Structure 1
Amino acid sequence: MKKFLKMIAACALLPMILIGCNQSTTSSIKLAEVTRSLFYAPQYVALEKGYFEEEGLDVELQTTWGGDKTMTALLSDGADIALVGSETSIYVYAQNSKDPVINFAQLTQTDGTFLVAKEPKPDFKWEDLKDSTFLGQRKGGMPQMVGEFVLKKHGIDPKNDLELQQNIDFANIPGAFVSGDAEYVQLFEPTASTFEKEGKGHIVASFGEESGHVPYTVFMTKQSYLDKNEEEVQKFTRAVYKAQKWVEETSASEIAEVIHPYFEDTDLELLAASIDRYKSQGSFATDPILDKEEWQNLKAIMDEAGELPADIPYEELVNTSIAEDIMKE
């Protein structure tokens, strides 16, 4: 009987022992994404398919709605890692930050917006934008800077050749386009395809195809966090790379099914069509490496928009060693 009671006691203690073990081997990471977008499909794949869990990471995702709010969360330790445009790390560095923000894993490598017209434009030409009302994105953000870069590439001065509206918050831009007098708007998917399906707009061009490769959205963290938690950042990057490879090899319809919990209000078929649009133009990075050419392209776009505060060297704010090591495994 005593032996039996000892066995019962041991069994009762086992769950507590296992919990203790799990607590010691699982690391928590607070991840802030700049917005909720299927443009970030590989991130949601990593979450839904358990790639972070396989690495012993408990990733808590929060949506911070805007580059400034995302960077504030990161700098104030409200987030450990941020998914946001690389331009934000340049802005922070230019303010003489003693704890620079380091880009360590790229997620998207093109602009993710599309030019949507209120009326059908079967024979659209970029010059059609002249003398029109264009509802753009927030000044200083990557969507707006890329938008202006592409317009200038086609001989359009965004300040003089059209009426450029930039006074609408990111989350309110779709509604403002529907209810306002703007003839064109710059939208992400799946909003662009949703508008087209509902007859509220018509996709006429892709800013991603026009602007080339840029480090559009990148996972970044403070140098101090990286110094103290390099192993966790390695595990995080490994999970992201697994997801990137899976997305590259998987059909848009299957990807849509996996990430649908993050876009419950979007029809699966439309979600798949939007993902396919991004895949076909190479928007999803196929590995975590942010290369020097992309960094130079980013700075050229920022400079053209008058938003480059300083010529920050690639080596100062980009760490590729972790991603390179992961890819060699």
Structure 2
Amino acid sequence: MTDALIPVFDGHNDTLLRLALGRAGRDARSFFDEGKTGHIDLPRARRGGFCGGLFAMFTPSRMSEGEELELSPRDPANFAPVSRHVAEPFTQRMIEMARSVEVLSGGDVVIARSVAEARLAMSDGKLAILLHVEGVECLKTDLSNLHGLYQAGLRSLGPVWSRKNEFGDGVPMSFPSSPDTGSGLTEAGRDLIRACNTMGIMVDLSHITEKGFWDVARLSTKPLVASHSNVHAICPSPRNLTDRQLEAIRASGGLVGVNFHVGFLRPDGQQNSATDLDQVVAHTDYLLEKLGEDGVALGSDFDGCTVPDAIGDVAGLPHLIDRYRLAGYGEELIRKIAAENWLSLLERTGI
């Protein structure tokens, strides 16, 4: 491993959910102590070069504080609908968790409301958080509470998680499967895409059905983005993207963040953490071929998935960077994938 750390701006993690649920005794103060569970805290982030990212706010179908969630694809209870009356206050709870982390950090963590703020924080050695909602069950269908979330710092959202809501339909976690598994956007979903385009909120297509993907592609005037998805031709999970979807993302000037979840990396779809980093490189190579050097980034899914043992947690990011070097990636390309492509994409989205 080289001594110089490559700065990483990552497209997706579930750390706020982990903190909000108090899993394994975690809370806002624990974010500043190096832990042995989970994937992200500030000491490990600094050791790994992680200097910013999109921090997701997700409301599970079922949750119990202090316990790990088991999102087995075989248990339909994990994918049951969630009401706004549950999701709205829980989303506010995660926003308050992010604010608590920011305040307790003494300036070392910043909730950025623009790319310019994120770049400044990162250049000053701070951790930049951009807030993202994963599955918009917290929104009213008339979008009357969207502005309040924007004022709180929301700059990115995924209309659906892997379940149906009032805005659209998400793909299941089955394997193998096509992403063409359900319906697309509802009228409220179409209104949401238009509002996001106007306000400068990024729309994330990870988790959406193929019909929903094409609905967004027809409506959106902004680059198409899948923050944490991989290649369906390599791993036939419905969470991954077909060649036709990748073509549309490239044509829009969009981006895909490589997901570290082993079940979305491996051709056999197995949840085996003893997965070689060659699998990450294989997906990255394929995405580079289809999207070009400006269309590929990282979307780890830290704190929400099973990552390869060779990465382990956020402190292990340099292992992946060195594996990219071994694969022949130049330093300029690595820096694009690690951070710059995300920041440039968010700028093009108007953030």
TM range, smaller chain: under 0.3
Q: Greater helix share, 1 or 2?
A: 1
When Rg is computed on C-alpha atoms for both structures, the one with the higher figure is: 1
User: Taking structure 1 as the reference length, what is the TM-score of the superposition?
Assistant: 0.27
Structure ranking higher on relative contact order (CA contacts 8 Å, 6+ apart): 1
* Higher relative strand content: 1
TM-score, with normalisation over the residues of structure 2?
Answer: 0.26
